Amino acid sequence: MAETVSSSCAKGWGALVLLGFLSVIFGILMMIYPDITATVVLTLIGILIIVMGVIGLIFAMLTPAGEGKSTLLLLGGVLGVLIGVGFIMYPVIAGSVLTWMIGILIFFTGLLQIVFGLEEKYQPGRWLYILAGIISIIFAILIMIFPVIGGLIIFGYLVAIYFFINGIVLMTVGYHMHRVCLELPA
């Protein structure tokens, strides 16, 4: 049993380190080219929406005619395909719309944080809820005022930061896995 663990252990760590290294490289490239990253991410979202729309159309065709669901599925499928094509053809506009939606969500989250902070009179540190709410609202307003820049940050830089950090973590896990493998009896 120890031989099986040692054998699989010796093989897996290198793949993790390589995957982590590639993730870090992609993260750095995405940081250098956030506009391309944002366009690719939004194009992939568009493809996903098209696939979901096509699936909706297929289900609409398989549902017996006259049922309310078939009409809704047909409408949802057509809208999905059109919206997906729009994402691919106009990624800047799609990114701006998504950024606006995210900004609205953050704004209302900030309002709820402030309300929670004001309502919880006996909660220690309730001022932190209020502060978090104010920060959320400020960021939401900035995102909504500058949706193109906000979209570039959300869909470009944040994806890059994710890949960079994930790569470092994967390399660390691979290194630690290798250290553990070295300590296993042969």
Mean pLDDT of 92-111: 90
| Helices 34-62 + 91-119 axis angle, to 10 | 90
- What are the percentages of helix, strand and coil residues in the chain, rounded to 5? 90, 0, 10
CA 79 from chain centre, in angstroms, equals 23
Q: What is the pLDDT of residue 108?
A: 95
Mean pLDDT of 74-94: 93
The answer to whether residue 11 scores a pLDDT higher than 70 is no
The answer to whether residue 135 scores a pLDDT higher than 60 is yes
Model confidence pLDDT, tens digit, residues 40-71 = 888 999 999 999 999 999 988 888 877 777 88
Are the CB atoms for 85 and 51 separated by under 8 Å? Answer: no
In this structure, the chain runs to a length of: 186
Q: What is the pLDDT of residue 92?
A: 85
Q: What is the pLDDT of residue 52?
A: 95
Domain map (residue ranges) of the chain: 2-183
pTM of the entire predicted model: 0.67
Between 185 and 87, name the one with better pLDDT: 87
Q: To the nearest whole percent, how much of the chain has pLDDT over 70? A: 93
Residue 44 corresponds to which amino acid? Answer: L
Q: What is the pLDDT of residue 8?
A: 59
Query: What's the mean pLDDT when you consider all of the chain?
Result: 86
Q: What is the pLDDT of residue 168?
A: 93
Q: What is the DSSP string of 69-133?
A: HHHHHHHHHHHHHHHHHHHHH-HHHHHHHHHHHHHHHHHHHHHHHHHHHHH-TTSTTHHHHHHHH
Q: What is the pLDDT of residue 16?
A: 83
